[in-house]
Amino acid sequence: MRDLPLEDGRRGLLRWIDHSRPQGSVNNQVTVVFDGHPDHFGGMSQGDIRVIFSDGCSADDKIKLMVEEDATRKNCVVVSDDKDIFLYARSLGARVMSVAAFTSRPAGPVARSPKGQGAGGKYISLSRQEKINKELEGFWLKEKE
């Protein structure tokens, strides 16, 4: 998604979260914080994902404020590769996770067999999906010529 225009990349992220549910249970609320103002980007939403724009401050400051104001911050998971956000959220008692760890989680809640092993099935990471799509795109575009 790095090569997409900003709004397309944001919409792609929201679709991916909505489809893949890396947060696990549908009961785990997801909030995505973007820099900027919602009018500039068309006020995004996707499924049950709460989208917030920083609107006048940085997304980092907005995330810090949200963690500070969360009465149940020990149940809050902040996903970021920003070291300052990572350390700040952890210092307030929130759980933290890198973007790589979040995006490499299996889709949806992990079902367990009685022996405690994973339910099986195949999982393809977002980066692998993009690589496969590019390969197929190259193949199909060459075929039509």
Greatest mean pLDDT among 34-38, 82-86, 112-116, 119-123 lies in 82-86
Rounded to whole angstroms, the Cα distance separating 56 from 54 reads 6
What is the per-residue pLDDT across 133-144, written as a single tens digit (0 to 9) for each? 778 877 777 655
Q: What is the DSSP letter of 71?
A: T
pLDDT at 110: 40
pLDDT at 94: 93
User: What average pLDDT is seen over the chain?
Assistant: 78
Mean per-residue pLDDT, 56-68: 92
Entry pTM: 0.64
Residues 95 and 77: beta-carbon distance below 8 Å: yes
* Cα distances (angstroms) measured from residue 116 to each of 10, 108, 113, 120: 36, 17, 5, 12
Mean per-residue pLDDT, 7-34: 85
Rounded to whole angstroms, the Cα distance separating 45 from 15 reads 9
What are 108's two structure tokens? Answer: 């949806």
pLDDT at 108: 52
